[in-house]
């Protein structure tokens, strides 16, 4: 027990080397608490922040979609208005009577070459008509009228004669005139492309074509082209206020008319809204990146993120303080355990009583120290008893040798035999080489004791020992049966007249070993039986008051049952019953 206490003390001292104080010291116990609770709280805050971010993302996407739908509708109306202006000018040119008369006459002149180059006055008059239609503010960038014979007149941006001749030479003007005549709308919109009439301009130009035709006779005399710089389309819409929104305009064939504001790599994550014109078939597509959608909420997101980090930090500090406060009594108790030694084990420990669980732990620890202190006292007493018991046999051996020698000289064989049996009993009891023996050895020892009693009481005493063969090898502690037999003479036979009888049986019954000791003595009252049972249970519960009653010679039924339980490690059942017609039967049972 003392050695075990020293090992516990050494182990606790090793553990306590990592912890030198409650505050300001490294404690794995506190660190695990802080880490665990901080991680749980951090995960909760992270979930909250992710949910908040997703809510902002979804909300911003809905708002962006509504705004883009409104903006796409407005943009499409502006594009339609722009195309309407161009088409209106084209229609005015197409239906101008002076131009119809002029180009009708030119249909009679099939000579190649530009007739307007040779007739300056007609060139001036026709150009004035076009200028008048275009208006003083030059609504259109250029108005051009030409036919299949190479006659060409324009107003607005200057043209290059060589470019005009080159284009008219290779274009199938007659086929274009026929297709315009057959088209339902009598118009064709051409997506932006470089200027075909001059190489002097670097921009791209949107073109509307209409046939120069008599609407009554359906005769086509030429082609009317209205050109407008694509920059005018940009200026006529509110593109300048859509810095964070990309815009793409597609014509009726899906060809890109305008594409601006979309950064590379953002399309995949963009929120897209489209609007298609029922009149022209053009489509306006507005797109906004996720970063642009979240831009108005960026400061709010950053604020919430910083706040979340601050909350986690403050909560970690709070958890650390609380963990230290709650762990302080436990660590103090651990320190108390690590400081235990033989000198201070009996000192009373006063711990923190503010927490119920810790108070119970302190109470249990104090109770354990009290029992451990009592156990050490009992162990010391057991040592002294063992040493004393070892000294007595040496004196008795010498005394028996003297008595046996005297009996031999006197020729008293009975005394010699009694000395021999008593010496065998002393050797059996005083041997400390082995603490357990077989049932056979135990029966031989009790037989020696009963022989002594037989020589003493002679015809007034009889005994019987019966054991099944399979029981003889059963292991058990020493001096299990002799104390029970001795009790018969010390108590059972003290108040009754002889003859006396003792029977010891050992057998296997119903899968359990059974040992019985019967006598025909005075028996026990119910009160006496209850007192014995209470003492047995008190010893088994470890009551220190019961252990202090032990002394040399104080063996018997209680000692026998306790030692049998300790030796086998199994539950030993017992019974104290009345014998018939008188006496007592002590029965012990256990698993084989």
Give whole-number Cα distances, 202 to 193, 198, 199, 347, in Å.
10, 10, 8, 103
Question: How do the domains of the chain map onto residue ranges?
Answer: 95-235, 434-591
How far apart CA 330 and CA 351 sit, in angstroms, is: 9
Give one DSSP letter per residue of 49-104, joined into a string: HHHHHHHHHHHHHHHHHHHHHHHHHHHHHHHHHHHHHHHHHHHHHHT-HHHHHHHH
Which residue from 425, 446, 455 is spatially nearest to 488, judged by alpha carbons? 446
Query: Is 469 in contact with 431 (CB distance < 8 Å)?
Result: no
Least confident segment among 198-207, 403-412, 503-512: 403-412
Burial class (CB in 10 A: 0-12, 13-18, 19+), 234: middle
Q: Is the pLDDT of residue 199 over 80?
A: yes
Do the beta carbons of residue 277 and residue 79 sit within 8 Å? yes
Cα separation, 291 vs 296, whole angstroms: 10
pLDDT given at position 9: 44
The answer on pLDDT for 123 being more than 50 is yes
As its CATH architecture, domain 434-591 has 2-Layer Sandwich (3.30)
Mean pLDDT of 213-221: 89
Structure tokens at 74: 């407005």
Which pLDDT does position 8 carry in this prediction? 37
Residue 20: pLDDT band (50, 70, 90) is very low
Q: Is the pTM of this model over 0.85?
A: no
The tokens describing 384, both together, are: 């002294």
Q: For residues 61 and 67, give the distance between their C-alpha atoms in angstroms, rounded to a whole number.
A: 10
Predicted confidence band of residue 395 (pLDDT cuts 50, 70, 90): low
In whole angstroms, give the CA distance from residue 331 to residue 329.
Answer: 5
* pLDDT band at 447; cut points 50, 70, 90: very high
Q: How far apart are CA 129 and CA 136, in angstroms?
A: 12
**For range 506-530, the mean pLDDT:** 91
Residue 210 pLDDT grade (very low, low, confident, very high; cuts 50, 70, 90): very high
**254-258, 297-301, 433-437, 503-507: least confidently modelled range:** 433-437
Question: Could you tell me the pLDDT band of residue 553, with boundaries at 50, 70 and 90?
Answer: very low
The share of the chain scoring above pLDDT 70, in percent, equals: 80
Closest by alpha carbon to 245, among 282, 293, 277, 283?
293
Residue 11: the pLDDT is 39
Mean pLDDT of all residues in 441-470:
92
Task: Average the pLDDT over 187-216 and give the result.
Answer: 91
**What span, in angstroms and rounded, lies between the C-alpha atoms of 361 and 584?**
47
**Highest mean pLDDT of the ranges 293-297, 303-307, 463-467:** 463-467
What per-residue confidence (pLDDT) applies to 506?
95
Rounded to whole angstroms, how far apart are CA atoms 207 and 2? 109
d(CA 16, CA 360): 22
pLDDT at 16: 38
pLDDT at 359 over 90: no
Candidate from 92-96, 408-412, 434-438 with smallest mean pLDDT: 408-412
What is the topology classification, in CATH, of domain 95-235? Beta-Lactamase (3.30.450)
Of residues 75 and 225, more confidence is placed in 225
Residue-level pLDDT at 531:
87
């Amino acid at each position: 027990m003392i050695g075990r206490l020293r090992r516990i003390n050494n182990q606790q001292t090793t553990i306590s080397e990592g912890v030198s104080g409650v505050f300001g010291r490294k404690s794995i116990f506190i660190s695990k608490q802080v880490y665990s609770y901080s991680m749980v709280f951090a995960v909760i805050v992270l979930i909250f922040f992710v949910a908040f971010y997703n809510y902002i993302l979804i909300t911003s996407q809905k708002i962006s979609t509504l705004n883009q739908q409104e903006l796409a509708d407005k943009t499409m109306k502006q594009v339609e208005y722009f195309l309407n202006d161009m088409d209106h000018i084209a229609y005015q040119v197409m239906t101008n009577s002076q131009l119809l008369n002029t180009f009708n006459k030119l249909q009679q002149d099939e000579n190649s070459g530009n007739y307007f180059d040779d007739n300056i006055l007609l060139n001036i008059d026709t150009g004035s008509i076009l200028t008048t239609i275009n208006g003083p503010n030059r609504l259109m960038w250029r108005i051009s009228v030409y036919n299949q014979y190479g006659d060409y007149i324009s107003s607005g941006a200057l043209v290059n004669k060589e470019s005009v001749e080159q284009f008219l030479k290779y274009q199938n003007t007659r086929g274009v005139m026929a297709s315009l005549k057959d088209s339902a709308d009598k118009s064709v919109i051409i997506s932006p492309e470089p200027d075909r009439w001059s190489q002097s301009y670097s921009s791209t130009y949107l073109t509307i074509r209409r046939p120069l035709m008599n609407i009554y006779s359906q005769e086509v005399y030429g082609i009317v082209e209205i050109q407008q710089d694509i920059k005018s389309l940009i200026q006529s819409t509110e593109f300048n206020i859509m810095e964070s929104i990309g815009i793409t305009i597609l014509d009726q064939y899906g060809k890109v008319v305008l594409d601006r504001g979309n950064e590379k790599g953002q399309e995949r994550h963009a929120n897209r809204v489209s609007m298609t014109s029922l009149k022209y078939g053009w489509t306006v597509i507005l797109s906004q990146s996720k970063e642009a959608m979240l831009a108005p909420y960026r400061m709010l997101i950053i604020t919430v993120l910083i706040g979340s980090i601050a909350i986690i930090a403050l909560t970690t500090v709070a958890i650390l303080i609380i963990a230290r406060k709650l762990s302080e009594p436990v660590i103090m108790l651990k320190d108390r355990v690590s400081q235990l030694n033989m000198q201070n084990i009996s000192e009373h420990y006063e711990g923190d009583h503010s927490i119920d669980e810790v108070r119970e732990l302190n109470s249990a620890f104090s109770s354990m120290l009290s029992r451990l202190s009592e156990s050490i006292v009992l162990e010391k007493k057991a040592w002294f008893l063992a040493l004393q018991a070892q000294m007595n046999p040496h004196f008795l051996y010498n005394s028996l040798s003297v008595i046996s020698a005297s009996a031999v000289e006197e020729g008293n064989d009975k005394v010699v035999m009694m000395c021999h049996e008593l010496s065998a009993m002393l050797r059996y009891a005083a041997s400390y080489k082995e603490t357990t023996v077989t049932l056979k050895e135990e029966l031989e020892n009790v037989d020696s004791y009963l022989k002594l009693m037989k020589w003493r009481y002679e015809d007034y005493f009889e005994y019987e020992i019966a054991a099944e063969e399979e029981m003889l090898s059963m292991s058990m502690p020493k001096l299990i049966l002799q104390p029970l037999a001795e009790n018969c003479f010390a108590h059972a036979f003290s108040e009754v007249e002889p003859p006396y009888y003792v029977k010891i049986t050992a057998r296997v019954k119903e899968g359990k070993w059974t040992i019985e000791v019967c006598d025909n003595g005075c028996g026990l009252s119910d009160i006496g039986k209850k007192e014995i049972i209470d003492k047995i249970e008190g010893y088994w519960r470890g009551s220190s008051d019961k252990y202090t009653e032990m002394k040399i010679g104080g063996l018997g039924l209680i000692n026998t049952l306790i030692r049998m339980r300790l030796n086998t490690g199994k539950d030993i059942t017992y019974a104290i019953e009345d014998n018939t017609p008188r006496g007592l039967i002590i029965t012990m049972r256990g698993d084989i």
